[in-house]
C-alpha cells in the first residue's frame, strides 16, 4: 500500500517556506495587534540566522521544553504581558493558511477510495501539533501525524524518519512518498529510503509519477 507523507509549513500550510520569497509570516502585524516587538521576539525565541538550532523554539520542537513555559520567559521582554496561552492561540490561528490546492488533491485521494495511506510528517511542538490535528481538521484527512516533539528528534536528524519507518513497519523497498519544502530535509528523508520530493506547488503532488493515475480519469 502506497504511503504518502506531507510536511506542514511550506506544504500543507502556506506560511513559512524554505524559499524566503514565498513566505507569508504569521507575525506580520504582531506589533499592531499585540504590541510585541517583532524583531526582538524573532531573535529571542526563534534565534538569529545560523543559530536557530540552539533556540528556545528548537528546544520546544525537539520535545525538550513546553512551548507555553518557554514563551512565558520571553514575552514580557518583547512587550507582551498577557497569558502565554492567549499568545499561542493568536499564533496558531494566524499561522493556519491552508494550501487549498494541496488539500483539494488530498481530499480527492481520500474520497476516491484509492488504496493509499495519508500521513503528516512535521517539525512541531506538542501544542501546535494538537491544534493542527484537532482544531484545524487534519484528523479528518490523515491516518496519523508524526511530529518531532513526539518522536524526540528534529526532522533534520535521520532518526526522525527511521522512527517512522519502525512504527509503520516500512520495509527497505517500500519508498514512502514525501513532500517537503526544505531541500536539506528531502536529502535526509532520502537517506532513510523515502521517495522525497522538494515541494514548490500542488503540481508536484499531481504530477508525481507514482500518483498520476489517481487523477487519470479527470
Question: What is the pTM assigned to this prediction?
Answer: 0.95
Phi, psi (deg, nearest 5) at residue 199: -95, 130
Q: What is the pLDDT of residue 172?
A: 85
Q: What is the pLDDT of residue 203?
A: 96
**54, burial (CB in 10 Å: exposed 0-12, middle 13-18, buried 19+):** exposed
State the number of CA atoms in the 13 A half-sphere of 173 facing the CB: 0
- Is 119 in contact with 5 (CB distance < 8 Å)? yes
Q: Contact 127/67 with Cβ under 8 angstroms? A: yes
Would you call 13 helix, strand, or coil by DSSP?
Answer: strand
Find out whether 41 and 33 touch, Cβ atoms under 8 Å.
Answer: no
Q: In the prediction, which pLDDT does 180 show?
A: 97
Q: Kindly give, in sequence order, each residue whose CB lies less than 8 Å from that of residue 169, ignoring residues fewer than 6 positions away.
A: none
The whole-angstrom separation of Cα 41 and Cα 69 is: 15
- 123: its cell numbers: 517539525
Predicted pLDDT of residue 217: 57
Whole-number Cα distances in Å, 5 to 27, 97, 111, 200: 27, 19, 17, 15
For residue 10, what is the DSSP state?
T
Nearest to 36, CA basis, from 69, 79, 4: 79
Could you list the pLDDT tens digit for every one of the 218 residues in the chain?
899 999 999 999 998 888 888 889 999 999 999 999 999 999 999 986 655 678 999 999 999 999 999 999 999 999 999 999 999 999 999 999 999 999 999 998 888 777 899 999 999 999 999 999 999 999 999 999 999 999 999 999 999 999 999 999 999 889 999 999 999 999 999 999 999 999 999 999 999 999 988 876 55
Amino acid at each position: 500500500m502506497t504511503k504518502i507523507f506531507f510536511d506542514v509549513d511550506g506544504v500543507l500550510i502556506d506560511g513559512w517556506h524554505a524559499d524566503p520569497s514565498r513566505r507569508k509570516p504569521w507575525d506580520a502585524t504582531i506589533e499592531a495587534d499585540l504590541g510585541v516587538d517583532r524583531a526582538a521576539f524573532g531573535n529571542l525565541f526563534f534565534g538569529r540566522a545560523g543559530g536557530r538550532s540552539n533556540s528556545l523554539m528548537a528546544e520546544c520542537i525537539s520535545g525538550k521544553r513546553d512551548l507555553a513555559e518557554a514563551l512565558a520567559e520571553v514575552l514580557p521582554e518583547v512587550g507582551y504581558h498577557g497569558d502565554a496561552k492567549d499568545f499561542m492561540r493568536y499564533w496558531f490561528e494566524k499561522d493556519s493558511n491552508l494550501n487549498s490546492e494541496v488539500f483539494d488533491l488530498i481530499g480527492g485521494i481520500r474520497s476516491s477510495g484509492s488504496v493509499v495511506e495519508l500521513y503528516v510528517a512535521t517539525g512541531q511542538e506538542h501544542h501546535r501539533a494538537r491544534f493542527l490535528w484537532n482544531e484545524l481538521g487534519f484528523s479528518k484527512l490523515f491516518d496519523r501525524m508524526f511530529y518531532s516533539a513526539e518522536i524526540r528528534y528534529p526532522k533534520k536528524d535521520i532518526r526522525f524518519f527511521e522512527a517512522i519507518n519502525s512504527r509503520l513497519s516500512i520495509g527497505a523497498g517500500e519508498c514512502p512518498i514525501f513532500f517537503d519544502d526544505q531541500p536539506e530535509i528531502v536529502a535526509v528523508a532520502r537517506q532513510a529510503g523515502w521517495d522525497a520530493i522538494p515541494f514548490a506547488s500542488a503540481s508536484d503532488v499531481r504530477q508525481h509519477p507514482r500518483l498520476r493515475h489517481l487523477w487519470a480519469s479527470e
